Chains A and B, each alone.
Chain A
Amino acid sequence: MANLTPWQQALLYANRANPYPFYAELRKTPVSRQPDGSYVVSTYQEIVSILHDPRVSSDLSKRPKAAEVAVETSAYDREPSMITSDPPAHDRVRRSAMRHFGPPHSPDLVSNQETEIQRIVTGLLDKLKGKTRIDVVDEFAYPLPVSVICAILGVPRADEPRFHGWIQAFMNGLDLGPEAATEEQQRLRKLGDQGKQDLKNYMVALLERYAKQPGPGMLSAMVNDGAEEPLSRGELLSNAMLLLFAGHETTVNLIAHSVLTLLRHGDALEKLRRRPELIVPGVEEFLRFESSVQFWPTRTALEDIEIAGTTIQKGAQVIPVYGSGNRDPDRFTNPDEIDLEREHNKHLGYSSGIHLCFGGPLARLEAQIAVGEVVRRVRNPRLVVDPPPYRHNQIFRGPRHVMVDIDGVRD
């Protein structure tokens, strides 16, 4: 693997636990053209600029064919979901979905989850009583978001083992780096394609069931929405898959990374114990420090765009690297340090602009309660393996396990 660009190196599995030195290298050229013709944007200001530029499209169908093959990243192909569409379609779909999730039509949905999240977190931590070694990912960070999103969407919790497997296969099959061509990765990719297909079939059946017999949750509400701007079947499907996927994968990583980060920064952990209210700005800092979505690959320049001394060519893929922008020293003082009280922490962990994370308020609430309770209740946690093993996926970067030795769990 000689002569790789810093971006390609950042994508290698071996560097998953710590891509940051490569990001620092990347930022020396804020917008850098890659051998495949894509442009990687790694500095904060330039990322913000790209995210707000109406000459940058998220709709893959607007990208010239040749480039499209190299980056088929969306599980929601055919009919694009809101994350891979542009206005006006994007605005219509997002508005339509938001009617059942947030203000102005559903202002209390997220805040009403608080009791249920607290109950789940309490239950999960109670189960760890008596143990001396735990896996923060499997025993805590994963079960919470998946329960919450199932309840909100109206996806039967009992089906979780099935869709979990499909989603994991899809995640493992996706590789955007130099290792994509290996025999092993090709095999995983096939499994991933199958996982995607299985998830799609499952979701179609679920949506049709709700069309016949309305049930609880957002999906049923969206299927049976008598609003002025109903979604097509294809739009319903792609967005339902997006919500299920994004609704928990990213939050798992956020919670796991937050705990990992605190265990690596004993002073921050101590401070949070003394001042629990700092969990609110703290979660923002964790989002900045280890972004659940490291970059996003579906953007395309529709015109030549001059930025930071580079001209991004019309038709080229543009990749904003949130994980790098969030460590940009020109924007964040001491970016590689944790500061629970960081001021003006306008991080890019949820992206920015019209594609700003749809479920952000929910993820925030889950992480605040979950991590806050770990800090309060878990006695003397120590990392067993550092760095922990990471999952394969480069975009949704997160630890596979976080093994921790503990002295017990308080009530």
Chain B
Amino acid sequence: MNISTKEKVADLVATFKSTGRIVIVGASLAGLRAAEALRKEGFTGKLTIIGDEPDEPYDRPPLSKQVLKGWVPADHTKLPRVREVDAEWLLGEAATGLDRVNKQVRLAGGYQVPFDRLLIATGTRARCWPNPTEVALEGVYTIRTSNDAARLQQALAAKPGRVLVIGAGFVGSEVASVCRELGLPVTVAERASAPLVGALGGVIGSIAAEMQRDHGVDLRTGIGVKSLVGDNKGHVRRARLSDDSVVECDVVLTSLGSIRNTEWLEGSGLAAGFWGVGCDAGCRAFDINGVVTESIFVAGDIARFPHVLYEYQFLTLEHWDNAVLGAEVAAHNMVSLEADRWPHLPLPAFWSGQFGVNIKSVGVCPFGREIVFTQGSVKERRFAAAYGHRGRIVAAVTFNHGKWLEYYAAQIEHSAPFPPPPAGYDRPREMKPRPAEFPDPHVPTSLPTVILTGHDPTERGAEFRARLH
């Protein structure tokens, strides 16, 4: 590149940064952080943020914890602003379509929003209970939005007779924990063999199950819910389970995992589907042929990107820090030239609080075939465990042992051998690797929040799932 070409390119970048139009679809954590990052990157052009919820961006993790306990009102979890975004906010407006040829986002009201660069950050929504009549019963809840949390909090504060939680993933388990803290009787029905098995496997799941039972949860595993039955006022009163037993309950929380909000991209020609929107490790969306686009980026729960540590399989990560870091990388790459682009290759990490235990994890646990306890005491529920795949460490989980996680994170980043060398002290009784007991991914259970979705950017393997129901 000669000097004048270089200057021209620099000029183009500068012009784009000052006069370009960027549209962000999705006004939650990823969308907000991306907007802030764009301003930090020196983008002074027009920025539009579209969100289908009426509220300003808010933080979701407290919804299933502090909010339900009644410590924090549901509308008090607004995300702190890192910097001024000076954007046009179109809140309460759902995007309904994407016209890539004319570079426009269509809104529900028929309005079109033109863009030069687009960020897709529409995230996920709660999977609904499949029977619409039963969903309509009073007392049946789900929890994803601030509004959901406010309603459920009220229902719990009213001291219902019994709460039924359907699905023992992280959200279901956290809500069950809150119910116990509030002194409410709670039944948890989970189709898999134990809570959290999708994310952490059966070995850890059985510990999670013990925790629930020790705290007085009526935990039913290997059990589905056949139907919800209401009284003559249309309020749910009981549930019929797959073993034909009946649970009397006044509140039902359906926590069946999430669905990616990709419907609005149908017909756009992007690699969007059940598993999310395929993109490269620089957050650029793929089209359905696996060709990378130049002007469309993806971040947050909906992004499905190949990860070097996991044999370049595509991952989706419904994790807080994935939303933040992905948004920053997407924002940077939107306004940067090829040589200056960043990769988004986070080591997945998440946390949960339930039954007095702080659970933390790094890496992709379901990628592991084996698990070994490495530190602490399972009995005392303070321990670390590592997951292995073909002789290398790929993930770790800690129960009340989070300060050790960084050690495992470094081991995972370096693909260190599995099992790791024994600790010098506070060793668990059992230190033999054993199968981690992840369920067959085709068995319907509440989906884990880390999902390995195969190698092909346009793969729609999940559509097989529909036939299983």
Judging by beta carbons under 8 Å apart, are B426 and A354 in contact? Answer: no
Complexed CA–CA distance, A87 and B374 (Å) = 13
Residue B169 interfacial (CB < 8 Å): no
Residues of A within 8 A of B375 (CB): 54, 87
Judging by beta carbons under 8 Å apart, are B382 and A49 in contact? Answer: no
Judging by beta carbons under 8 Å apart, are B424 and A55 in contact? Answer: yes
Judging by beta carbons under 8 Å apart, are A54 and B406 in contact? Answer: no
Complexed CA–CA distance, A310 and B375 (Å) = 25
Instruction: Check A54/B374 contact, CB under 8 A, given A86-B426, A302-B424.
Output: yes
Instruction: Check A54/B403 contact, CB under 8 A, given A87-B376, A88-B377, A91-B382.
Output: no
Residue B421 interfacial (CB < 8 Å): yes
- Chain B residue, CB-CB nearest to A104: B356
Residue B464 interfacial (CB < 8 Å): no
Residues of B within 8 A of A53 (CB): 407
The smallest C-beta distance from B183 to any residue of chain A, in angstroms, reads 19
Complexed CA–CA distance, A48 and B406 (Å) = 9
The smallest C-beta distance from A342 to any residue of chain B, in angstroms, reads 15
Instruction: Check A88/B424 contact, CB under 8 A, given A52-B404, A52-B410, A353-B406.
Output: no
- Chain B residue, CB-CB nearest to A301: B424
The smallest C-beta distance from A298 to any residue of chain B, in angstroms, reads 14
Residues of A within 8 A of B376 (CB): 87-88
Residue B423 interfacial (CB < 8 Å): yes
Judging by beta carbons under 8 Å apart, are B407 and A52 in contact? Answer: yes
Judging by beta carbons under 8 Å apart, are A88 and B426 in contact? Answer: yes
Residue A57 interfacial (CB < 8 Å): yes
Complexed CA–CA distance, A87 and B403 (Å) = 12
Residue A235 interfacial (CB < 8 Å): no
Judging by beta carbons under 8 Å apart, are A57 and B424 in contact? Answer: yes
Judging by beta carbons under 8 Å apart, are A303 and B407 in contact? Answer: no
Per DSSP, chain A at the interface is loop
Residue A356 interfacial (CB < 8 Å): yes
Residues of A within 8 A of B423 (CB): 54-55
Complexed CA–CA distance, A48 and B374 (Å) = 19
Residue A56 interfacial (CB < 8 Å): yes
Q: Which of B377, B404, B410, B424 contacts A86 (CB 8 A)?
A: B424
Complexed CA–CA distance, A370 and B422 (Å) = 45
- Chain A residue, CB-CB nearest to B420: A54
Complexed CA–CA distance, A57 and B424 (Å) = 7
Residues of B within 8 A of A57 (CB): 424-425
Of B404, B421, B425, most buried by chain A (CB within 10 Å of CB) is B425
Complexed CA–CA distance, A302 and B421 (Å) = 11
Judging by beta carbons under 8 Å apart, are A54 and B404 in contact? Answer: yes
Judging by beta carbons under 8 Å apart, are B374 and A49 in contact? Answer: no
Contact with B along A30-57 (1 / 0, CB 8 A): 0000000000000000001100111111
Instruction: Check A56/B406 contact, CB under 8 A, given A87-B375, A87-B376, A91-B382.
Output: no
Complexed CA–CA distance, A12 and B306 (Å) = 52
Contact with B along A118-130 (1 / 0, CB 8 A): 0000000000000
- Chain A residue, CB-CB nearest to B382: A91
Judging by beta carbons under 8 Å apart, are B421 and A55 in contact? Answer: yes
Of A52, A54, A56, A303, most buried by chain B (CB within 10 Å of CB) is A54
Instruction: Check A86/B407 contact, CB under 8 A, given A54-B374, A54-B375, A91-B382.
Output: no
Residues of B within 8 A of A353 (CB): 403-404, 406-407
Which residues from 411 to 469 on chain B have a C-beta closer than 8 Å to any C-beta of chain A? 421-426
Contact with A along B369-382 (1 / 0, CB 8 A): 00000111100001
Q: Which of B404, B410, B425 contacts A49 (CB 8 A)?
A: B410
Of B374, B404, B423, B424, most buried by chain A (CB within 10 Å of CB) is B424
Residues of B within 8 A of A56 (CB): 424
Judging by beta carbons under 8 Å apart, are B403 and A356 in contact? Answer: yes
Residues of B within 8 A of A62 (CB): 424-425
Complexed CA–CA distance, A52 and B376 (Å) = 15
Residues of A within 8 A of B407 (CB): 49, 52-54, 353
Contact with B along A324-355 (1 / 0, CB 8 A): 00000000000000000000000000001110
Judging by beta carbons under 8 Å apart, are B424 and A54 in contact? Answer: yes
Complexed CA–CA distance, A59 and B426 (Å) = 12
Residues of B within 8 A of A356 (CB): 403
Given contacts A62-B425, A353-B403, 11 further A-B contacts (CB under 8 A): A48-B410, A53-B407, A54-B375, A57-B424, A87-B375, A87-B376, A88-B376, A88-B377, A88-B426, A91-B382, A353-B406
Closest 6 CB pairs of A and B: A302-B424, A54-B423, A52-B407, A87-B426, A86-B425, A55-B424
In the assembled complex, 21 residue pairs joining A and B whose CB atoms fall closer than 8 Å, in A order, are A49-B407, A52-B406, A52-B407, A54-B407, A54-B423, A54-B425, A54-B426, A55-B421, A55-B424, A56-B424, A57-B425, A86-B424, A88-B376, A91-B382, A302-B424, A302-B425, A303-B421, A352-B406, A353-B403, A354-B404, A356-B403
